[in-house]
Structure 1
Amino acid sequence: MAVTSARNGSSYGCSHYHYKYFNFPVDTIDSRFGGIPSAIPSFEWIPVSWDSAQYMVTPAITLALLGAIEFLLCARIADGLIHDRHDSNQELMTQGVANCTVPFFGGMPATGTIARTVTNIESGATTPVSGIVHAATLLIIVLFGAPLAKNIPLASLAAILMYVAWNMGEWKKFVDLKQFRLPYRITILSVFILTVALDLTIAVEVGLLLAFITLIYRISSLSRCELALPSDFPGLHNQQGRIDAYRIHGAIFFGAVKLLEKIEANLPTQTLLLDLKNVIYVDTSGMDTIMELAHLCKILNIRLIICGLAHQPLEMAERSDFISTLPQDAFHPDLASGIAAATF
Protein backbone atom coordinates (compact mmCIF):
# COMPACT_ATOMS: atom_id res chain seq x y z
CA MET A 1 0.00 0.00 0.00
CA ALA A 2 1.36 3.39 -0.95
CA VAL A 3 2.38 5.87 1.72
CA THR A 4 3.10 9.58 1.44
CA SER A 5 4.74 12.14 3.67
CA ALA A 6 2.45 14.04 6.01
CA ARG A 7 4.44 17.24 5.48
CA ASN A 8 5.24 17.59 1.77
CA GLY A 9 3.46 14.71 0.05
CA SER A 10 6.69 13.15 -1.22
CA SER A 11 7.17 9.45 -0.79
CA TYR A 12 9.31 8.55 2.23
CA GLY A 13 10.45 12.12 2.61
CA CYS A 14 10.25 12.33 6.42
CA SER A 15 9.93 10.24 9.53
CA HIS A 16 6.19 10.61 10.13
CA TYR A 17 4.06 8.87 7.51
CA HIS A 18 0.36 8.48 6.72
CA TYR A 19 -1.31 5.74 4.74
CA LYS A 20 -2.61 7.20 1.48
CA TYR A 21 -6.07 5.69 1.56
CA PHE A 22 -6.88 5.34 5.24
CA ASN A 23 -4.87 8.26 6.58
CA PHE A 24 -3.38 6.19 9.41
CA PRO A 25 -0.43 7.87 11.14
CA VAL A 26 2.75 5.81 11.30
CA ASP A 27 4.94 7.04 14.11
CA THR A 28 8.66 6.48 13.92
CA ILE A 29 11.45 6.85 16.44
CA ASP A 30 12.18 10.30 15.03
CA SER A 31 8.58 11.57 15.12
CA ARG A 32 7.85 10.27 18.61
CA PHE A 33 11.17 10.77 20.39
CA GLY A 34 13.05 13.23 18.21
CA GLY A 35 15.53 10.73 16.79
CA ILE A 36 18.48 8.88 18.29
CA PRO A 37 21.60 10.69 19.56
CA SER A 38 24.55 9.95 17.29
CA ALA A 39 27.29 10.71 19.79
CA ILE A 40 28.41 9.53 23.21
CA PRO A 41 27.03 11.80 25.97
CA SER A 42 29.57 14.01 27.68
CA PHE A 43 30.20 14.15 31.40
CA GLU A 44 28.22 16.80 33.26
CA TRP A 45 28.39 17.40 36.99
CA ILE A 46 25.00 17.33 38.71
CA PRO A 47 24.56 20.19 41.22
CA VAL A 48 23.21 18.76 44.46
CA SER A 49 21.94 20.78 47.39
CA TRP A 50 20.08 19.84 50.54
CA ASP A 51 16.98 21.71 49.35
CA SER A 52 16.67 19.36 46.38
CA ALA A 53 18.20 16.23 47.89
CA GLN A 54 15.77 15.97 50.79
CA TYR A 55 12.91 15.38 48.36
CA MET A 56 14.84 12.62 46.56
CA VAL A 57 15.67 10.35 49.49
CA THR A 58 12.38 8.44 49.57
CA PRO A 59 12.07 8.04 45.76
CA ALA A 60 15.73 6.98 45.57
CA ILE A 61 15.26 4.28 48.22
CA THR A 62 12.08 3.07 46.48
CA LEU A 63 13.83 2.88 43.10
CA ALA A 64 16.83 1.11 44.63
CA LEU A 65 14.68 -1.55 46.30
CA LEU A 66 12.46 -2.16 43.29
CA GLY A 67 15.49 -2.13 41.00
CA ALA A 68 17.24 -4.71 43.15
CA ILE A 69 14.16 -6.93 43.20
CA GLU A 70 13.68 -6.74 39.44
CA PHE A 71 17.40 -7.28 38.80
CA LEU A 72 17.52 -10.39 40.98
CA LEU A 73 14.28 -11.64 39.43
CA CYS A 74 15.85 -11.27 36.00
CA ALA A 75 18.98 -13.12 37.16
CA ARG A 76 16.86 -15.88 38.68
CA ILE A 77 14.99 -16.39 35.41
CA ALA A 78 18.29 -16.50 33.55
CA ASP A 79 19.54 -19.15 36.00
CA GLY A 80 16.57 -21.34 35.19
CA LEU A 81 17.15 -21.00 31.46
CA ILE A 82 20.90 -21.72 31.43
CA HIS A 83 20.89 -24.01 34.50
CA ASP A 84 23.41 -21.96 36.44
CA ARG A 85 23.57 -19.86 39.63
CA HIS A 86 24.31 -16.15 39.76
CA ASP A 87 26.22 -14.20 42.42
CA SER A 88 23.66 -11.83 43.94
CA ASN A 89 26.27 -9.55 45.53
CA GLN A 90 28.14 -9.19 42.26
CA GLU A 91 24.94 -8.45 40.34
CA LEU A 92 23.75 -5.80 42.79
CA MET A 93 27.17 -4.15 43.06
CA THR A 94 27.37 -3.93 39.27
CA GLN A 95 23.94 -2.38 39.02
CA GLY A 96 24.71 0.06 41.84
CA VAL A 97 27.95 1.27 40.26
CA ALA A 98 26.24 1.66 36.88
CA ASN A 99 23.27 3.59 38.28
CA CYS A 100 25.57 5.89 40.26
CA THR A 101 27.56 6.67 37.09
CA VAL A 102 25.02 7.09 34.28
CA PRO A 103 23.25 10.17 35.75
CA PHE A 104 26.45 12.18 35.12
CA PHE A 105 26.08 11.32 31.41
CA GLY A 106 22.38 12.13 31.14
CA GLY A 107 21.22 8.57 31.80
CA MET A 108 18.44 7.21 34.00
CA PRO A 109 18.48 4.39 36.59
CA ALA A 110 17.96 1.01 34.97
CA THR A 111 17.95 -2.68 35.81
CA GLY A 112 18.45 -5.91 34.00
CA THR A 113 15.41 -6.42 31.79
CA ILE A 114 13.78 -9.79 31.47
CA ALA A 115 12.78 -9.35 27.81
CA ARG A 116 16.28 -8.63 26.51
CA THR A 117 17.87 -11.21 28.80
CA VAL A 118 15.55 -13.99 27.64
CA THR A 119 15.99 -12.94 24.00
CA ASN A 120 19.74 -13.03 24.47
CA ILE A 121 19.62 -16.50 25.99
CA GLU A 122 17.23 -17.79 23.33
CA SER A 123 19.78 -16.62 20.77
CA GLY A 124 22.44 -18.81 22.35
CA ALA A 125 23.99 -16.61 25.04
CA THR A 126 25.41 -18.43 28.06
CA THR A 127 28.11 -16.12 29.49
CA PRO A 128 28.46 -12.43 30.50
CA VAL A 129 30.27 -11.85 27.20
CA SER A 130 26.88 -11.73 25.50
CA GLY A 131 25.98 -8.65 27.55
CA ILE A 132 29.18 -6.95 26.42
CA VAL A 133 28.40 -7.80 22.78
CA HIS A 134 24.88 -6.44 23.25
CA ALA A 135 26.19 -3.15 24.65
CA ALA A 136 28.81 -2.88 21.88
CA THR A 137 26.12 -3.43 19.24
CA LEU A 138 24.00 -0.64 20.71
CA LEU A 139 27.05 1.62 20.74
CA ILE A 140 27.69 0.93 17.04
CA ILE A 141 24.05 1.67 16.21
CA VAL A 142 24.22 4.95 18.12
CA LEU A 143 27.47 6.06 16.51
CA PHE A 144 26.90 4.93 12.93
CA GLY A 145 23.30 3.81 12.43
CA ALA A 146 21.32 6.56 14.18
CA PRO A 147 20.42 8.47 10.96
CA LEU A 148 18.88 5.29 9.54
CA ALA A 149 17.45 3.81 12.73
CA LYS A 150 15.44 6.94 13.48
CA ASN A 151 13.11 6.10 10.56
CA ILE A 152 12.15 2.70 11.96
CA PRO A 153 8.34 2.61 12.48
CA LEU A 154 7.27 2.03 16.08
CA ALA A 155 4.71 -0.49 14.82
CA SER A 156 7.51 -2.80 13.67
CA LEU A 157 9.23 -2.47 17.03
CA ALA A 158 5.94 -3.31 18.75
CA ALA A 159 5.61 -6.43 16.63
CA ILE A 160 9.13 -7.51 17.62
CA LEU A 161 8.35 -6.95 21.31
CA MET A 162 5.14 -8.96 21.05
CA TYR A 163 7.03 -11.80 19.37
CA VAL A 164 9.70 -11.74 22.07
CA ALA A 165 7.09 -11.59 24.84
CA TRP A 166 5.21 -14.55 23.39
CA ASN A 167 8.34 -16.68 23.09
CA MET A 168 9.63 -15.84 26.55
CA GLY A 169 6.35 -16.68 28.26
CA GLU A 170 6.20 -20.16 29.75
CA TRP A 171 2.49 -20.55 29.02
CA LYS A 172 2.36 -24.18 30.15
CA LYS A 173 2.88 -22.91 33.69
CA PHE A 174 -0.74 -21.73 33.71
CA VAL A 175 -1.85 -25.34 33.24
CA ASP A 176 0.37 -26.37 36.17
CA LEU A 177 -1.35 -23.87 38.49
CA LYS A 178 -4.12 -26.35 39.19
CA GLN A 179 -1.77 -28.39 41.37
CA PHE A 180 -1.04 -25.47 43.70
CA ARG A 181 -3.11 -23.97 46.50
CA LEU A 182 -5.50 -21.08 45.88
CA PRO A 183 -3.30 -18.34 47.51
CA TYR A 184 -0.38 -19.24 45.22
CA ARG A 185 -2.63 -19.20 42.15
CA ILE A 186 -4.01 -15.81 43.11
CA THR A 187 -0.48 -14.43 43.55
CA ILE A 188 0.78 -15.69 40.19
CA LEU A 189 -2.29 -14.55 38.25
CA SER A 190 -2.30 -11.14 39.94
CA VAL A 191 1.34 -10.52 39.05
CA PHE A 192 0.74 -11.62 35.46
CA ILE A 193 -2.36 -9.46 34.97
CA LEU A 194 -0.82 -6.38 36.62
CA THR A 195 2.37 -6.73 34.57
CA VAL A 196 0.39 -6.73 31.33
CA ALA A 197 -2.29 -4.20 32.30
CA LEU A 198 -0.28 -1.73 34.36
CA ASP A 199 3.42 -2.00 35.06
CA LEU A 200 6.05 -4.47 36.26
CA THR A 201 6.86 -2.26 39.25
CA ILE A 202 3.27 -2.35 40.49
CA ALA A 203 3.08 -6.08 39.79
CA VAL A 204 6.21 -6.73 41.88
CA GLU A 205 4.86 -4.64 44.77
CA VAL A 206 1.51 -6.44 44.78
CA GLY A 207 3.19 -9.81 44.29
CA LEU A 208 5.49 -9.27 47.26
CA LEU A 209 2.57 -8.17 49.42
CA LEU A 210 0.53 -11.25 48.50
CA ALA A 211 3.58 -13.48 49.00
CA PHE A 212 4.14 -12.03 52.49
CA ILE A 213 0.51 -12.58 53.42
CA THR A 214 0.60 -16.13 52.07
CA LEU A 215 3.84 -16.87 53.92
CA ILE A 216 2.48 -15.57 57.22
CA TYR A 217 -0.70 -17.59 56.78
CA ARG A 218 1.18 -20.78 55.91
CA ILE A 219 3.65 -20.51 58.79
CA SER A 220 0.89 -19.73 61.29
CA SER A 221 -1.18 -22.66 60.02
CA LEU A 222 1.80 -25.02 60.32
CA SER A 223 2.57 -23.91 63.89
CA ARG A 224 0.77 -26.02 66.47
CA CYS A 225 0.70 -26.76 70.18
CA GLU A 226 0.08 -30.29 71.49
CA LEU A 227 -0.51 -31.54 75.01
CA ALA A 228 2.04 -34.24 75.85
CA LEU A 229 0.29 -37.57 76.54
CA PRO A 230 1.04 -39.96 79.44
CA SER A 231 1.34 -42.76 76.87
CA ASP A 232 4.42 -41.03 75.45
CA PHE A 233 5.78 -39.84 78.79
CA PRO A 234 4.94 -42.18 81.71
CA GLY A 235 6.02 -39.51 84.18
CA LEU A 236 2.82 -37.59 83.39
CA HIS A 237 0.57 -40.49 84.45
CA ASN A 238 -2.10 -39.30 86.92
CA GLN A 239 -0.62 -35.78 86.80
CA GLN A 240 -3.14 -34.08 84.49
CA GLY A 241 -4.26 -30.77 85.91
CA ARG A 242 -1.29 -30.65 88.29
CA ILE A 243 1.59 -31.03 85.81
CA ASP A 244 0.90 -30.25 82.17
CA ALA A 245 3.44 -30.41 79.33
CA TYR A 246 2.94 -28.79 75.94
CA ARG A 247 4.95 -29.53 72.80
CA ILE A 248 5.13 -26.56 70.41
CA HIS A 249 6.00 -26.97 66.72
CA GLY A 250 6.79 -24.39 64.06
CA ALA A 251 7.30 -20.70 64.79
CA ILE A 252 6.14 -18.47 67.62
CA PHE A 253 5.61 -15.09 65.98
CA PHE A 254 2.94 -12.41 65.83
CA GLY A 255 0.80 -14.59 63.59
CA ALA A 256 0.84 -17.57 65.95
CA VAL A 257 0.92 -16.12 69.49
CA LYS A 258 -2.59 -17.46 70.09
CA LEU A 259 -0.97 -20.85 70.65
CA LEU A 260 0.44 -19.60 73.95
CA GLU A 261 -2.69 -17.62 74.78
CA LYS A 262 -4.64 -20.89 74.75
CA ILE A 263 -2.18 -22.30 77.30
CA GLU A 264 -2.82 -19.31 79.57
CA ALA A 265 -6.50 -20.26 79.67
CA ASN A 266 -5.72 -23.82 80.81
CA LEU A 267 -2.89 -23.51 83.31
CA PRO A 268 -2.14 -26.43 85.68
CA THR A 269 -2.04 -26.00 89.43
CA GLN A 270 1.57 -26.99 90.05
CA THR A 271 3.96 -27.13 87.07
CA LEU A 272 3.84 -26.05 83.42
CA LEU A 273 6.34 -27.46 80.94
CA LEU A 274 6.95 -25.98 77.48
CA ASP A 275 8.87 -28.09 74.99
CA LEU A 276 10.43 -25.71 72.42
CA LYS A 277 12.66 -28.31 70.78
CA ASN A 278 10.69 -28.16 67.50
CA VAL A 279 10.35 -24.35 67.46
CA ILE A 280 12.44 -22.97 64.61
CA TYR A 281 11.82 -19.27 65.08
CA VAL A 282 10.66 -16.82 67.74
CA ASP A 283 10.16 -13.12 67.05
CA THR A 284 9.81 -10.27 69.54
CA SER A 285 6.04 -10.67 69.72
CA GLY A 286 6.41 -14.38 70.45
CA MET A 287 9.04 -13.76 73.11
CA ASP A 288 6.86 -11.10 74.73
CA THR A 289 4.02 -13.63 74.90
CA ILE A 290 6.32 -16.22 76.49
CA MET A 291 7.47 -13.66 79.05
CA GLU A 292 3.86 -12.72 79.82
CA LEU A 293 3.08 -16.42 80.34
CA ALA A 294 6.07 -16.71 82.70
CA HIS A 295 4.91 -13.63 84.61
CA LEU A 296 1.41 -15.09 84.95
CA CYS A 297 2.85 -18.37 86.24
CA LYS A 298 4.88 -16.46 88.81
CA ILE A 299 1.80 -14.61 90.04
CA LEU A 300 -0.18 -17.87 90.35
CA ASN A 301 2.78 -19.64 91.98
CA ILE A 302 3.07 -22.14 89.12
CA ARG A 303 6.49 -23.55 88.32
CA LEU A 304 7.51 -22.97 84.68
CA ILE A 305 10.01 -25.30 83.01
CA ILE A 306 11.38 -24.61 79.51
CA CYS A 307 12.69 -27.62 77.57
CA GLY A 308 14.72 -27.88 74.36
CA LEU A 309 15.51 -24.17 74.05
CA ALA A 310 18.19 -23.94 71.33
CA HIS A 311 19.41 -22.11 68.23
CA GLN A 312 17.46 -18.97 67.27
CA PRO A 313 14.88 -19.22 70.12
CA LEU A 314 17.78 -19.44 72.61
CA GLU A 315 19.43 -16.39 71.05
CA MET A 316 16.18 -14.44 71.26
CA ALA A 317 15.70 -15.51 74.91
CA GLU A 318 19.22 -14.31 75.75
CA ARG A 319 18.81 -10.95 73.99
CA SER A 320 15.48 -10.30 75.71
CA ASP A 321 16.90 -11.25 79.16
CA PHE A 322 14.21 -13.89 79.49
CA ILE A 323 16.68 -16.45 80.80
CA SER A 324 17.67 -14.22 83.72
CA THR A 325 14.03 -14.03 84.87
CA LEU A 326 13.87 -17.77 85.61
CA PRO A 327 16.02 -19.93 87.93
CA GLN A 328 18.70 -22.16 86.44
CA ASP A 329 16.72 -25.35 87.14
CA ALA A 330 13.89 -24.05 84.93
CA PHE A 331 15.78 -25.00 81.75
CA HIS A 332 16.28 -28.57 80.55
CA PRO A 333 17.63 -30.00 77.27
CA ASP A 334 14.55 -32.12 76.49
CA LEU A 335 11.01 -32.76 77.67
CA ALA A 336 11.82 -36.10 79.30
CA SER A 337 14.38 -34.55 81.67
CA GLY A 338 12.01 -31.64 82.37
CA ILE A 339 9.21 -34.05 83.35
CA ALA A 340 11.63 -35.99 85.55
CA ALA A 341 12.60 -32.74 87.35
CA ALA A 342 8.96 -31.72 87.73
CA THR A 343 7.91 -35.05 89.27
CA PHE A 344 10.99 -35.51 91.44
Structure 2
Amino acid sequence: TAANVKNGGRTPIAGIIHALVGFCILLFLGKWAELIPIPCLAAILVVVAYNMSEWRSFKALFNTPKSDIIVLLVTFLLTVIVDLTVGIEVGIVLAILLFMRRMVQVSAVTVLNDDILSEKQDEEKELENLSLPKGVEVYEVNGPFFFGAAEKFKEAMLQMGSRPKVRIIRLRHVPAVDSTGIRLFWQVIQDSSKHGTRLILSGMNMSVESMLRKAGVLDKLGEENICPDIKAALTQAAALLK
Protein backbone atom coordinates (compact mmCIF):
# COMPACT_ATOMS: atom_id res chain seq x y z
CA THR A 1 0.00 0.00 0.00
CA ALA A 2 2.80 2.43 0.90
CA ALA A 3 4.59 1.68 -2.39
CA ASN A 4 1.32 2.20 -4.24
CA VAL A 5 0.80 5.62 -2.63
CA LYS A 6 4.44 6.64 -3.18
CA ASN A 7 4.04 5.89 -6.90
CA GLY A 8 0.99 8.11 -7.28
CA GLY A 9 -1.92 5.87 -6.30
CA ARG A 10 -4.41 8.19 -4.61
CA THR A 11 -7.90 6.95 -5.52
CA PRO A 12 -9.91 3.89 -4.43
CA ILE A 13 -9.39 2.48 -7.95
CA ALA A 14 -5.64 2.35 -7.31
CA GLY A 15 -6.26 0.29 -4.17
CA ILE A 16 -8.61 -2.06 -6.05
CA ILE A 17 -6.07 -2.61 -8.85
CA HIS A 18 -3.35 -3.16 -6.27
CA ALA A 19 -5.45 -5.82 -4.53
CA LEU A 20 -6.39 -7.53 -7.82
CA VAL A 21 -2.77 -7.66 -9.00
CA GLY A 22 -1.66 -9.16 -5.69
CA PHE A 23 -4.50 -11.69 -5.85
CA CYS A 24 -3.61 -12.70 -9.43
CA ILE A 25 0.07 -13.12 -8.52
CA LEU A 26 -0.82 -15.42 -5.63
CA LEU A 27 -3.37 -17.33 -7.70
CA PHE A 28 -1.52 -17.82 -10.98
CA LEU A 29 2.15 -17.03 -10.28
CA GLY A 30 2.48 -18.36 -6.76
CA LYS A 31 4.89 -21.19 -7.61
CA TRP A 32 7.25 -18.69 -9.25
CA ALA A 33 6.75 -16.00 -6.60
CA GLU A 34 7.93 -18.40 -3.90
CA LEU A 35 11.25 -18.65 -5.72
CA ILE A 36 12.01 -14.96 -5.07
CA PRO A 37 14.84 -14.90 -2.49
CA ILE A 38 13.78 -13.64 0.94
CA PRO A 39 16.75 -11.19 1.08
CA CYS A 40 15.37 -9.49 -2.05
CA LEU A 41 11.96 -9.05 -0.44
CA ALA A 42 13.65 -7.87 2.76
CA ALA A 43 15.58 -5.22 0.83
CA ILE A 44 12.36 -3.98 -0.78
CA LEU A 45 10.63 -3.81 2.60
CA VAL A 46 13.57 -1.88 4.09
CA VAL A 47 13.36 0.72 1.31
CA VAL A 48 9.58 1.01 1.68
CA ALA A 49 9.91 1.32 5.47
CA TYR A 50 12.54 4.04 5.05
CA ASN A 51 10.26 5.99 2.72
CA MET A 52 7.37 5.60 5.17
CA SER A 53 9.42 6.69 8.18
CA GLU A 54 9.62 10.36 7.11
CA TRP A 55 12.53 10.82 9.47
CA ARG A 56 12.85 14.50 8.57
CA SER A 57 9.35 15.12 9.92
CA PHE A 58 10.21 12.98 12.94
CA LYS A 59 13.26 15.16 13.58
CA ALA A 60 11.23 18.36 13.21
CA LEU A 61 8.80 17.15 15.90
CA PHE A 62 11.56 17.55 18.49
CA ASN A 63 11.05 21.32 18.20
CA THR A 64 7.53 20.94 19.63
CA PRO A 65 6.65 21.20 23.37
CA LYS A 66 8.20 18.57 25.64
CA SER A 67 4.85 16.98 26.42
CA ASP A 68 4.28 16.26 22.71
CA ILE A 69 7.79 14.82 22.44
CA ILE A 70 7.07 12.46 25.36
CA VAL A 71 3.89 11.20 23.67
CA LEU A 72 5.81 10.73 20.41
CA LEU A 73 8.69 8.80 21.98
CA VAL A 74 6.49 6.61 24.19
CA THR A 75 4.28 5.67 21.22
CA PHE A 76 7.31 5.05 19.00
CA LEU A 77 9.18 2.90 21.53
CA LEU A 78 6.11 0.84 22.48
CA THR A 79 5.36 0.24 18.80
CA VAL A 80 8.91 -0.97 18.13
CA ILE A 81 9.52 -2.90 21.36
CA VAL A 82 6.06 -4.23 22.29
CA ASP A 83 3.31 -4.03 19.68
CA LEU A 84 1.67 -1.58 17.28
CA THR A 85 -1.72 -1.87 19.00
CA VAL A 86 -0.24 -1.22 22.45
CA GLY A 87 1.71 1.77 21.15
CA ILE A 88 -1.38 3.34 19.57
CA GLU A 89 -3.56 2.71 22.64
CA VAL A 90 -1.05 4.22 25.08
CA GLY A 91 -0.38 7.11 22.70
CA ILE A 92 -4.09 7.95 22.47
CA VAL A 93 -4.50 7.85 26.26
CA LEU A 94 -1.47 10.12 26.75
CA ALA A 95 -2.74 12.53 24.08
CA ILE A 96 -6.16 12.69 25.80
CA LEU A 97 -4.55 13.43 29.18
CA LEU A 98 -2.37 16.08 27.55
CA PHE A 99 -5.42 17.68 25.93
CA MET A 100 -7.25 17.76 29.27
CA ARG A 101 -4.23 19.38 30.92
CA ARG A 102 -4.06 22.06 28.24
CA MET A 103 -7.78 22.77 28.53
CA VAL A 104 -7.29 23.38 32.25
CA GLN A 105 -4.37 25.71 31.54
CA VAL A 106 -6.16 27.84 28.93
CA SER A 107 -9.33 28.26 31.00
CA ALA A 108 -9.50 31.16 33.42
CA VAL A 109 -12.05 32.86 35.67
CA THR A 110 -11.72 36.58 36.40
CA VAL A 111 -13.71 38.56 38.93
CA LEU A 112 -14.38 41.97 37.39
CA ASN A 113 -14.37 45.12 39.46
CA ASP A 114 -14.45 48.82 38.55
CA ASP A 115 -10.66 48.97 38.14
CA ILE A 116 -10.60 46.02 35.73
CA LEU A 117 -13.57 47.44 33.84
CA SER A 118 -11.69 50.72 33.40
CA GLU A 119 -8.63 48.87 32.08
CA LYS A 120 -10.72 46.89 29.59
CA GLN A 121 -12.63 49.86 28.23
CA ASP A 122 -9.89 50.48 25.65
CA GLU A 123 -10.25 46.88 24.41
CA GLU A 124 -14.03 46.53 24.53
CA LYS A 125 -16.39 49.26 23.42
CA GLU A 126 -19.33 47.68 25.22
CA LEU A 127 -17.59 48.39 28.56
CA GLU A 128 -17.42 52.15 27.99
CA ASN A 129 -19.00 54.20 30.78
CA LEU A 130 -19.97 51.07 32.69
CA SER A 131 -19.58 50.63 36.43
CA LEU A 132 -20.61 47.94 38.85
CA PRO A 133 -23.56 48.76 41.10
CA LYS A 134 -23.01 48.02 44.76
CA GLY A 135 -23.98 44.45 45.59
CA VAL A 136 -23.16 43.08 42.11
CA GLU A 137 -20.37 40.62 41.30
CA VAL A 138 -19.26 39.82 37.75
CA TYR A 139 -17.35 36.65 36.90
CA GLU A 140 -15.83 36.37 33.42
CA VAL A 141 -15.05 32.83 32.22
CA ASN A 142 -12.50 32.34 29.44
CA GLY A 143 -12.05 29.01 27.68
CA PRO A 144 -14.11 25.81 27.65
CA PHE A 145 -16.24 25.44 30.77
CA PHE A 146 -14.98 21.96 31.61
CA PHE A 147 -13.97 20.51 34.98
CA GLY A 148 -10.85 22.71 35.18
CA ALA A 149 -12.75 25.96 34.67
CA ALA A 150 -15.47 24.76 37.04
CA GLU A 151 -12.93 24.30 39.83
CA LYS A 152 -11.44 27.73 39.14
CA PHE A 153 -14.93 29.24 39.28
CA LYS A 154 -15.54 27.64 42.68
CA GLU A 155 -12.21 28.98 43.93
CA ALA A 156 -13.05 32.48 42.68
CA MET A 157 -16.39 32.46 44.54
CA LEU A 158 -14.73 31.21 47.73
CA GLN A 159 -12.10 33.94 47.52
CA MET A 160 -14.78 36.62 47.23
CA GLY A 161 -16.43 35.26 50.36
CA SER A 162 -19.31 37.76 50.36
CA ARG A 163 -22.89 37.02 49.29
CA PRO A 164 -23.78 39.53 46.55
CA LYS A 165 -27.33 40.53 45.77
CA VAL A 166 -26.73 39.88 42.07
CA ARG A 167 -24.12 37.59 40.50
CA ILE A 168 -23.38 37.94 36.77
CA ILE A 169 -21.52 35.20 34.88
CA ARG A 170 -20.06 36.45 31.62
CA LEU A 171 -19.69 33.62 29.08
CA ARG A 172 -18.73 35.41 25.87
CA HIS A 173 -15.40 33.54 25.61
CA VAL A 174 -16.79 30.10 26.48
CA PRO A 175 -16.97 27.93 23.33
CA ALA A 176 -18.36 24.82 25.03
CA VAL A 177 -19.61 23.41 28.32
CA ASP A 178 -19.59 19.83 29.59
CA SER A 179 -21.54 17.92 32.23
CA THR A 180 -19.29 19.22 35.02
CA GLY A 181 -19.98 22.80 33.98
CA ILE A 182 -23.72 22.14 33.77
CA ARG A 183 -23.69 20.60 37.25
CA LEU A 184 -21.86 23.66 38.56
CA PHE A 185 -24.52 25.95 37.08
CA TRP A 186 -27.16 23.97 38.95
CA GLN A 187 -25.15 24.27 42.17
CA VAL A 188 -24.75 28.03 41.71
CA ILE A 189 -28.48 28.42 41.02
CA GLN A 190 -29.37 26.43 44.16
CA ASP A 191 -26.82 28.32 46.26
CA SER A 192 -28.05 31.67 44.92
CA SER A 193 -31.68 30.77 45.63
CA LYS A 194 -30.77 29.66 49.15
CA HIS A 195 -29.01 32.95 50.00
CA GLY A 196 -31.29 35.32 48.09
CA THR A 197 -28.81 36.07 45.29
CA ARG A 198 -30.09 36.66 41.76
CA LEU A 199 -28.08 35.03 38.97
CA ILE A 200 -27.64 36.48 35.46
CA LEU A 201 -25.88 34.89 32.48
CA SER A 202 -24.54 37.07 29.67
CA GLY A 203 -22.88 36.69 26.30
CA MET A 204 -23.55 33.00 25.64
CA ASN A 205 -22.99 31.65 22.15
CA MET A 206 -25.61 29.44 20.51
CA SER A 207 -23.82 26.19 21.36
CA VAL A 208 -23.54 26.93 25.08
CA GLU A 209 -27.10 28.27 25.20
CA SER A 210 -28.39 25.11 23.52
CA MET A 211 -26.57 22.86 26.01
CA LEU A 212 -27.84 24.78 29.04
CA ARG A 213 -31.37 24.91 27.65
CA LYS A 214 -31.43 21.14 27.08
CA ALA A 215 -30.20 20.62 30.64
CA GLY A 216 -33.04 22.80 31.96
CA VAL A 217 -30.67 25.40 33.44
CA LEU A 218 -32.09 28.35 31.49
CA ASP A 219 -35.69 27.42 32.24
CA LYS A 220 -34.85 27.37 35.94
CA LEU A 221 -32.97 30.66 35.67
CA GLY A 222 -35.69 32.51 33.76
CA GLU A 223 -35.48 34.21 30.36
CA GLU A 224 -35.28 37.67 31.97
CA ASN A 225 -31.93 36.69 33.51
CA ILE A 226 -30.35 35.70 30.18
CA CYS A 227 -28.70 38.73 28.57
CA PRO A 228 -26.92 39.12 25.23
CA ASP A 229 -24.04 41.23 26.63
CA ILE A 230 -22.58 42.68 29.81
CA LYS A 231 -24.30 46.04 29.34
CA ALA A 232 -27.74 44.42 29.27
CA ALA A 233 -26.75 42.24 32.24
CA LEU A 234 -25.76 45.26 34.34
CA THR A 235 -28.99 47.01 33.37
CA GLN A 236 -30.95 43.95 34.51
CA ALA A 237 -28.90 43.82 37.72
CA ALA A 238 -29.67 47.47 38.46
CA ALA A 239 -33.38 46.77 37.94
CA LEU A 240 -33.24 43.80 40.33
CA LEU A 241 -31.57 45.92 43.02
CA LYS A 242 -34.41 48.43 43.08
Shorter-chain TM-score category?
Answer: 0.7 to 0.9
Residue equivalent to 1:291: 186
Secondary structure at the aligned position of 1:244 is classed as strand
Question: Gapped runs of 5+ residues in structure 2?
Answer: 122-126
Is residue 259 from structure 1 mapped to residue 167 from structure 2 by the alignment?
no
Q: Please give the per-residue CA displacement for 1:17-74, whole angstroms capped at 9, x wherever unaligned.
A: xxxxxxxxxxxxxxxxxxxxxxxxxxxxxxxxxxxxxxxxxxxxxxxxxxxxxxxxxx
| SS of alignment partner, residue 251 of structure 1 | coil
Aligned pairs for 1:1-344 within 5 A: 116=1, 118-230=2-114, 231=118, 232=121, 233=127, 234-237=129-132, 239=134, 242-265=135-158, 266=160, 267-344=162-239
Deviation at residue 171 of structure 1 after TM alignment:
0.7
Structure 2 contact 109–149 (Cα < 8 Å) conserved: no
> What letter matches 1:330 in structure 2?
N
Structure 2 residue identity aligned to 1:333: P
Q: Choose between structure 1 and 2: higher helix proportion.
A: 2
Contact kept? 2:142, 2:174, Cα under 8 Å: yes
Identity %: 28
The structural deviation recorded for 1:322 is 0.9
Q: Is the CA contact 1:236–1:243 (under 8 Å) kept in the aligned structure 2?
A: no
* Cα distance change of structure 1 residues 250 and 306 upon mapping to structure 2, 3 Å threshold: same
In 1: Cα distance, 2:23 partner to 2:222 partner = 71
1:290 counterpart SS class: helix
Q: Distance in 1 between matches of 2:73 and 2:204?
A: 41
In structure 2, the CA distance between the partners of 1:315 and 1:128, relative to structure 1 (3 Å rule), is: same
Distance 1:237 1:250 in 2: 24
- For the residue of structure 2 that corresponds to 1:137, the secondary structure is helix
- Structure exhibiting the larger radius of gyration computed from Cα positions: 1
Q: Which one scores higher on RCO, CA 8 angstroms, separation ≥ 6?
A: 2
CA contact (8 A) 1:243 1:268 kept: no
CA distance in 2, matches of 1:237, 1:257: 24
Two-structure CA RMSD over aligned residues (Å): 2.0
Report the alpha carbon displacement of residue 160 of structure 1 after superposing the two structures with TM: 2.3
TM-score, structure 1 length as denominator? 0.61
Give me the whole-angstrom Cα distance separating, in 2, the residues matched to 1:327 and 1:129: 58
Q: Write the distance in 2 (CA, Å) between the matches of 1:158 and 1:206.
A: 29
For residues 155 and 254 of structure 1, the distance between their equivalents in structure 2, rounded to whole angstroms, comes to 56
Stretches of structure 1 lacking an aligned partner (at least 5 in a row):
1-115
Q: How many angstroms does 1:268 deviate by?
A: 4.1
Number of residue pairs aligned between Structure 1 and Structure 2: 226
TM-score by length of 2: 0.85
Hey, which bits of structure 1, 4+ residues long, moved more than 6 A? Answer: none
Distance 2:5 2:163 in 1: 64
Amino acid at match of 1:335: I
- 2:144 is paired with a residue whose SS is strand
